Amino acid sequence: MFAPTTAARFTSAFALALALAACGGGNDQAEEPTASVTDATPLATPEATDTATPAATPTPEATPSESPSPTPTPTAKATATTAAAATAVEPAAFAQCKACHSVEPGKNGIGPSLAGIWGEKAGAVPGFEFSQPMKDSGLVWNQATLDKYLTDPRGVVPGTKMAFGGVKDATKRQAIIDYIKGL
């Protein structure tokens, strides 16, 4: 087992501090963060080596005249969602959200992944254990529900596990909603 590097310890400590700050009651009057975990330059480690993926080669079964119709799969949806997230511009206001939430499909953290939640039922992200009040809320994530929920999560869904006081600034809240819509 390798001992954690200084960079890994710093990154972990920074992520923890960011998560604790985000859960501290939602002080919208505080200045925007000037750095994020993604601003840190990653160091090469044995675990983080870059490997090339070989190019796909045609199979003998397929001929140029055959054109198989694409079949949507969960992997295809995840790839499309990841591509959309890569093109969406993350607003500065989202920094407080990413302390707990990922935008990568299937990558849950303290909170569920936010990839592809637009138009979906609340409490339905696979692999995340939601509170019963969130499962029973009946919410579908759209403009109106996200606006209300992000303003006062515990007021909209009493008993939710989300320990965040909300985003009181309507402009910041709308920027977050627009970003989530594009994921």
CA dihedral 81, 97, 93, 179 (to 10 degrees): 20
The pTM of the full predicted model, rounded to 2 decimals, is: 0.56
CATH of the domain at 180: 1.10.760.10
At 123, the pLDDT band (50, 70, 90 cuts) reads very high
Mean of pLDDT values over 84-108: 88
The residue with tokens 């309507």 is 170
* Domain annotation covers residue 129: yes
What range defines the domain where residue 169 resides? 77-183
At 181, the pLDDT band (50, 70, 90 cuts) reads very high
* Domain annotation covers residue 14: no
Q: Does residue 131 carry a pLDDT above 90?
A: yes
Pull the structure tokens for residue 175: 């920027």
Point out which residues pair with 121 in neighbouring strands: 140
* Domain annotation covers residue 88: yes
Mean of pLDDT values over 45-58: 42
* Domain annotation covers residue 172: yes
* Domain annotation covers residue 72: no
* Domain annotation covers residue 176: yes
* Amino acid letter, residue 118: W
Mean of pLDDT values over 34-48: 40
* Domain annotation covers residue 92: yes
Task: Give the count of domains, the chain.
Answer: 1
